[in-house]
Amino acid sequence: MNNGGQPFSQFDRVVVPVLGFVAASVLFLLMLLTCADVIGRYFFLRPIFGAFEITESLLAALIFAGLPLVTLRNEHVTVDVFDPIAPDWVLRIQHIIACALGFVATSYLAYRLWLRAIVLDAGGETTGQLKYKLAYLAYSMSFLMALTAISLLVIMFRKPQRSVPGEGPGA
């Protein structure tokens, strides 16, 4: 990803490698956990205690760590029927509106996740088997969702990418 000439490119140079490492590490841990659990379950009749809860938490962490990455790389699923024929000024307005709406939505979700984390923390909610606090996961999800909202603000100031049939990856 080369954003050297893009506004706020320093943000990418800090956030993308860190979140990329976090996401890759979580995915690697998921792979190790699944392999160890399957081997323990079917060959030694001893599954890993709490593997389901750990998998749930790691999947949530992976998804929420991936959101800012996908946003900064502009790799969301998009419908671009009119991109090849729309004038540049229309594409720019559409880009700004989409980023602004996405920012509002993800900011609200981050806020609601934070409120939920506070409730979970106050109630002392824990997982069923391992008894770790669910508030920690909710706080991290809220933080990563807020980072996604900030990422949407960052890309709002960048030039929108025009999708042209027959060009780009997979063409």
From CA 122, how far away is CA 28, in angstroms rounded? 32
Report which DSSP code applies to 5: T
Per-residue pLDDT at 140: 95
What's the whole-number average pLDDT of the chain?
88
Task: Locate the domains of the chain by residue range.
Answer: 10-75+87-156
At position 8, the amino acid (one-letter code) is F
Per-residue pLDDT of 75-127, as tens digits, reads: 888 777 777 788 889 889 998 999 999 999 999 999 999 999 999 999 999 98
Which residue do the tokens 């800012």 mark? 68
Structure tokens at 22: 């976090």
* pTM of structure: 0.83
